[in-house]
Amino acid sequence: MLRALLLSFLLGQVLGLKVCVIHMHGLFESDEDNVGFKNFIEKKTGIPVYLISRYSDVASLSPLKYQAEDILEDVKVIASQYDQVIAVGYSQGGIIWRSMIEMWDDHNVVLFISLASPQHGASGVPPQVKNIPFLDTSFAYSSIGQALSIFNYYFDPSAYDLYLKKNTFFTELNNEAGTSAEKEQRKKNFLKLSKLVLIGGSGDDRIVPWQSTVFGSYTKEGVDGGVVIPMEDSRLYVEDLFGLRSMVERGDLMKCVYPRIAHLEFRDDRKMLKRCVLPALKPYYQI
């Protein structure tokens, strides 16, 4: 690890750049759950990794709008000490990071790694709680449901009009709602990224559908239809609502589909990190 840190220091001296990773944890987690990620990345690259501790455990159920606003204040303090920031968001943390990037007008985030994060929303509840009768679309889009973070990114394509009306957080995040000026600024901020890396896999046992991690989603028939369309056929991409298509056309979006590991393993599975994360970080630590 000492050698890696020395290499990172020398790179900073040569290029005159200071780089760090800021990692946001997932639902019902804390920074302690992601120490394995921090240790692995710092050992392999020498890039310092900061683990955000706010809104841990039960507090992670707080509405995402407030989480993103509060956490951004902490992030700005860290980011002010560096020339470039690499954002890593695991699970719900990836949604929070995208929200922060879109609302942060003068950000210095160059790389955003979305790690097993439901970027196109969660269509239906996780398999572990699917038998609870009241956890359905009506509840998700109710005032009670929208007071819980897990339903702030609930997306049922079969109830799209209801989604647009009731889910203010995710519709704004995806630039499906808001004034023209707000949409333009969010898209501008998103496209300031130099690269976006989307990581997920078919072994994910919590995100429904798992393809949401790479911006896939169900068709308008929803969960019952069972048909998933890829990112390239989604409205978010076709209409380039917040910059996905533009990023692809620039050659700055990378997908890494890694099968056979469950949702929690995406935190710090070594083989996955070597295949999906280290190649994305390579430009920032190799001389």
pLDDT digits (tens, 9 = 90+) for 34-52: 999 999 999 999 999 999 9
The token duo for 269 is 């599975």
Please report the beta strands in 9-149, taking only residues with DSSP state E, as ranges in sequence order. Answer: 19-24, 49-51, 84-90, 109-115
Task: Please state the rounded mean pLDDT for residues 106-132.
Answer: 84
List the catalytic residue out of 204, 212, 234, 269.
204
**What CA–CA distance (Å, rounded) separates 232 from 154?**
20
* pLDDT of 173 above 50: yes
Of the pLDDT bands very low, low, confident and very high (cuts 50, 70, 90), residue 31 is very high
List the catalytic residue out of 23, 33, 263, 268.
263
List the catalytic residue out of 8, 30, 60, 91.
91
Helix axes 35-45, 2-15, angle to 10 degrees: 60
| Closest C-alpha among 34, 148, 167 to residue 89 | 34
Amino acid symbol at 39: N
pLDDT at 224: 80
Does residue 263 carry a catalytic annotation? Answer: yes
Does residue 25 carry a catalytic annotation? Answer: no
Place of tokens 């639902």: 27
- The sign one gets for the Cα dihedral 146, 100, 264, 235 is positive
Distance of CA 102 to the CA centre of its chain: 12
- pLDDT per residue as tens digits for the range 178-223: 999 999 999 999 999 999 999 999 999 999 999 999 999 999 988 8
Does residue 204 carry a catalytic annotation? Answer: yes
| Closest C-alpha among 253, 248, 255, 245 to residue 201 | 255
Compute φ and ψ for 242, nearest 5 degrees. Answer: -125, 10
Whether residue 54 contacts residue 71, with contact meaning beta carbons closer than 8 Å, is answered with: yes
